[in-house]
Amino acid sequence: MAEINGANGLISGKGIRLHARSPFRDGHFVLSPPKKEAPLNIKTVLAAAASAAIAAGMLAAASPAAAQAPLTHSAQITNYLDNGSHGYWATTAFTRTVTIATWNTKTSWKVTVRDAGTFRTLKDRKSPGAGVPITTPTEGTFKGSMEIFVQSATKPDASKVKAAYNYRCDKNGTADRSVICPGMPAETGDWGKLFFAAGSGATFRTGNYSFDYRGQCGQRWIDVNGSYSGDITNGCATPATPIKPTVTAQSCKANGKVRPASMLIPRVRGVKYEIAGNAVQPGRVTVEPGRHLVKTTAEAGYVLKKGVKPSWVIPVKAVRCK
């Protein structure tokens, strides 16, 4: 049986709940059953929990304390002796960029070494691929990278690694680079050791590596984890154009003495000069009156351009001074 509660204007009874100001319909109060609570959907609950977990993980990953910023270091390296499948074959100069970041755990590190620079082949050595004798040195560019994996409880430190190294490798040497390159602090595969303190208990493992060399005339040699392809042999000789030297004639000084004549030897890449069979360097040289035979020859890796005169007979006149 329903009861009216005057204090709050409610009519209540078993299974019903009605406000006294509820509308009438056909002379009767409109009675509504109490609202039922919607049952929990287990899929909805699990999805919400998963979303919360993902959001928490994203926040943790974004936190500065959760990620170790990579260490980056660059160095300029010169006079390195590069090794092919038949021994040393070229000298190189390049920029080495090292990046070190955590790997899997806080005590695991990945060192990535990236090189980019130039090379020049060595005369009388063997080409890196087929072992062809190099009779005419050639030049080109190269780039490559190597992975080194480190286990160390201590963080890497670049404070003792220099910004430039002259390896000073002996071009005629055949022994290990640790002997013939006195300026080399470490081989490429050991470069990661420069960033971790000695005696720290760190261990090192070399991962994948690849180096790509590109020479003249489309020649290319690639070394991927010790598997070679292609070759760089004698390449193409670069055309060089000789320029005829100029003469400054004798002249008289104020005291009546003769000012000697001189010949200006041009500086031309790939061209060597000689006067009467004697090699001369670019610049001004003193010459006596007479006829001088000047010849030019090509330097290693060059050829004199066809159709250009390679020699001249240059006269130098004498003067009399009062």
What per-residue confidence (pLDDT) applies to 43?
45
Report which DSSP code applies to 179: H
- CA 140, distance to chain mean position in Å, is 15
- Of the CA atoms within 13 Å of residue 113, those in its CB half-sphere come to 24
Cβ–Cβ < 8 Å for 287, 316: yes
What per-residue confidence (pLDDT) applies to 303?
87
pLDDT at 160 > cutoff 70: yes
3 state DSSP class of 277 = coil
pLDDT in tens, 99-110: 999 988 889 999
What per-residue confidence (pLDDT) applies to 51?
52
pLDDT at 301 > cutoff 80: no
Average pLDDT, integer, range 208-226: 94
pLDDT at 34 > cutoff 70: no
Cβ–Cβ < 8 Å for 135, 89: no
pLDDT at 60 > cutoff 50: no
What are the DSSP calls for 10-69, one per residue? EEEETTEEEETTPPEETTEE---PPPPPPPP-HHHHHHHHHHHHHHHHHHHHHSGGGSPP
* Residue 134 backbone phi and psi in degrees, to 5: -90, 110
pLDDT in tens, 233-259: 987 778 899 999 999 999 999 999 999
pLDDT at 8 > cutoff 60: no
What per-residue confidence (pLDDT) applies to 263?
97
Q: Tokens 């160390």 sit at which residue?
A: 152
pLDDT category at 276 given cuts 50, 70, 90 is: very high
Average pLDDT, integer, range 167-192: 96
Q: Tokens 């020049």 sit at which residue?
A: 120
